[in-house]
């Protein structure tokens, strides 16, 4: 998976490649799907949600430009796989999920792996995690209708927000960097298809 799907397609950051080599992706899907866990596609995880394609996980993690030790927020815990990858690189990961059963299941796997630097909370992540802000990196793993303003405001100076933005079916991965108190740069990186970000500042359920 790492050689063919990541390195061969241009993912170069050694921290990302090492993290994705280390995290056992098959533990984050149902037993019946474990033989497909390292395939080049997203997979269902229940509740009409998905674990993202490995390439997308690698691409978005690389886009956060982590060097190690940072404080990171993930919106959309899902299976917990992306949080585990972030947890191999960052100092602390805060991950929020709106569906309690997915958060419970993710917590179980993360505990089984012995992770100690990943916090999972059930909440509407379109508000971020105010009490833990600011973050050096924020990753949204569901498609937003617009760049969530609350998340921008929770970035530390120099912090990066990586978020898919578009309509309910297709989005573009965008990277927003906090350059100053009220100064942000925006880049469009890559086309993608995520399940919708549902919440007060996202799509309606």
Is 79 one of the annotated active-site residues of the chain? no
CA 144 to chain centre: 13
76 forms part of the interface with ligand SAM (CB under 6 A):
yes
151 binds ligand SAM (CB under 6 A): no
> 20, 96, 138, 162: which one contacts ligand SAM (CB under 6 A)?
96
Give the binding range for ligand SAM (CB under 6 A) out of 5-13, 14-22, 32-40, 193-201. Answer: 193-201
3-state SS, residue 107: helix
Asked if 75 interacts with ligand SAM (CB under 6 A), we say yes
Q: Find the binder of ligand SAM among 58, 128, 159, 199 (CB under 6 A).
A: 199
Residue 177 · residue 160 · CB < 8 Å: yes
Given the structure tokens 């992540």, which residue do they identify? 125
How far apart CA 2 and CA 8 sit, in angstroms, is: 8
* 171 CA to centre of own chain: 15
Question: Which of residues 82, 105, 154, 171 is near ligand SAM by CB under 6 A?
Answer: 82
Residue 202 structure tokens: 């996202």
Per-residue contact flags (x/-) with ligand SAM for residues 29 to 68, judged by CB under 6 A: --------------------xxxx----------------
In angstroms and rounded to an integer, the radius of gyration of the C-alpha atoms of the chain is 15
- What are the residue numbers of the active site? 52
């Amino acid at each position: 998976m790492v050689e063919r799907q990541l390195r061969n397609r241009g993912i170069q950051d050694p921290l990302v490649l090492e993290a994705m080599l280390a995290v056992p992706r098959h533990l984050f899907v149902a037993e019946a799907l474990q033989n497909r866990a390292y395939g080049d596609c997203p997979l269902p995880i229940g509740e009409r949600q998905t674990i993202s394609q490995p390439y997308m996980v690698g691409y978005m993690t690389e886009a956060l430009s982590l060097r190690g030790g940072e404080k990171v927020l993930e919106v959309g815990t899902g299976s917990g796989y992306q949080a585990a990858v972030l947890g191999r690189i960052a100092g602390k990961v805060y991950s929020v999920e709106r569906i309690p059963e997915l958060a419970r299941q993710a917590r179980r796997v993360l505990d089984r792996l012995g992770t100690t630097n990943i916090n999972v909370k059930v909440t509407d992540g379109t508000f971020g995690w105010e009490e833990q802000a600011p973050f050096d990196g924020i990753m949204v793993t569901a498609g937003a209708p617009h760049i969530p303003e609350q998340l921008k405001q929770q970035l530390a100076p120099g912090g990066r927000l990586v978020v898919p933005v578009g309509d309910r079916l297709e989005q573009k991965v965008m990277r927003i960097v906090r350059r100053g108190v009220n100064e942000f740069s925006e880049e469009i990186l890559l086309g993608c298809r995520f399940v919708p970000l549902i919440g007060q500042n996202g799509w309606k359920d």
